[in-house]
Amino acid sequence: MTAQTLAKKISSREARVGIVGLGYVGLPLAVEYAKAGFPVTGIDLSAAKTIMVNAGESYIGDIPTSELAPLVASGKLRATTDFSVIRDLDTVNICVPTPLRKTKDPDMSFIVAATQEIAKYFHPGLLIILESTTYPGTTDELLLPMLEKSGLKVGVDFFLCFSPERVDPGNPKFQTKNIPKVVGGTTPACTEIGRLFYAQALENVVPVSSTQVAEMVKLLENTFRMINIGLVNEIAIMCNGMDINVWEVIEAAATKPFGFMPFYPGPGLGGH
Ligand SMILES: NC(=O)c1ccc[n+]([C@@H]2O[C@H](COP(=O)([O-])OP(=O)(O)OC[C@H]3O[C@@H](n4cnc5c(N)ncnc54)[C@H](O)[C@@H]3O)[C@@H](O)[C@H]2O)c1
């Protein structure tokens, strides 16, 4: 019954959408859902960010103020630092940071803090989706026990998913709406609700069988990118020493129609 009621609210775009963390990932997502007609509430610890959003002013390069302002003016999008709004929400996407610690382990404190706040205002019928980059197992091993303390049952009373974020800040061709969205739930019912949710606002959704698969997808993508940028940076150093134009080499190699993908030398490993 809970799943059917939530699915109906999502399909009719009446579901009240919450986005926790209004950064490079969260603000564009909030904008897409507001554009799709959902009432959206952004929640961030930063009062400065919530004040800017409520004034219709963007602080994220990919979101022009001209796009944000009308959504705020029409009442479709608002922001707050007060987590108690979760009492009235139907869905919550967690888009908080997961920086690395000095030891190179991910710092899970932001995810834990956000989930603790969500747990305080937890209620039946909620869909929770973690989007922060993290290690495989996080959703079911870390979030699920915190949420099940409520006595509510996952897949029946509430729904839990992981969906890796693939946003590429500054990319003019691929943005939140047209980047295919992978989503995996704790149970099949969770995956289905997660798929239905993303299908309302994004062009292409790719459901997978578990949260762990979805988490591992992100790890594979980031590792692939890191290794290949590292590789091309090494090739660039070699080319420089041999007086060969690395850009010409990459351009010519990229004409191979299979088994090669161009990566370009640069100062970092991607992401903002
Ligand atoms: N930016 C990218 O290119 C990119 C791409 C893919 C994945 N990701 C991942 O997405 C996640 C979010 O990244 P981002 O770039 O949007 O980070 P960001 O730093 O731009 O934004 C995170 C926001 O979360 C807020 N926040 C922190 N703790 C909070 C809490 N407990 N409750 C509410 N709000 C809180 C911060 O104030 C900030 O506004 C990270 O796990 C990141 O690794 C980022």
Q: How far, in Å, CA of 178 to CA of 268, rounded?
A: 25
Nearest CA to ligand 1 atom 7: 165
- Sheet strands side by side (includes 91-94): 77-80, 40-43, 17-20, 91-94, 127-130, 159-162, 181-185, 205-208
For the chain, how are helix, strand and coil distributed in percent, rounded to 5? 45, 15, 40
Atom 20 (ligand 1): residue with closest C-alpha? 23
Per-residue pLDDT of the chain (272 residues; tens, 9 = 90+): 799 999 999 999 999 999 999 999 999 999 999 999 999 999 999 999 999 999 999 999 999 999 999 999 999 999 999 999 999 999 999 999 999 898 988 899 999 999 999 999 999 999 999 999 999 999 999 999 999 999 999 999 999 999 999 998 889 999 999 999 999 999 999 999 999 999 999 999 999 999 999 999 999 999 999 999 999 999 999 999 999 999 999 999 999 999 999 999 988 776 65
Distance of CA 95 from the midpoint of ligand 1 (Å): 5
Reported pTM: 0.96
Residue 217 and residue 187: Cα distance in Å, rounded? 18
State whether residue 247 is helix, strand or coil: helix
**Among 176, 159, 184, CA closest to 36:** 176
Which mutation among 19, 20, 24 tests ligand 1's pocket best, with the greatest number of atoms within 8 A of CB? 24
Crossing angle of helices 211-242 and 246-253, rounded to 10°: 130
To test the pocket of ligand 1, the residue of 29, 101, 165 to mutate (highest count of ligand atoms within 8 Å of its CB) is 165
DSSP one-letter string for 26-86: HHHHHHHHHHTT--EEEE-S-HHHHHHHHTT---STTS-HHHHHHHHHTTSEEEES-GGGG
Å from CA of 25 to ligand 1 middle: 6
H or E element in which residue 4 lies: helix 2-11
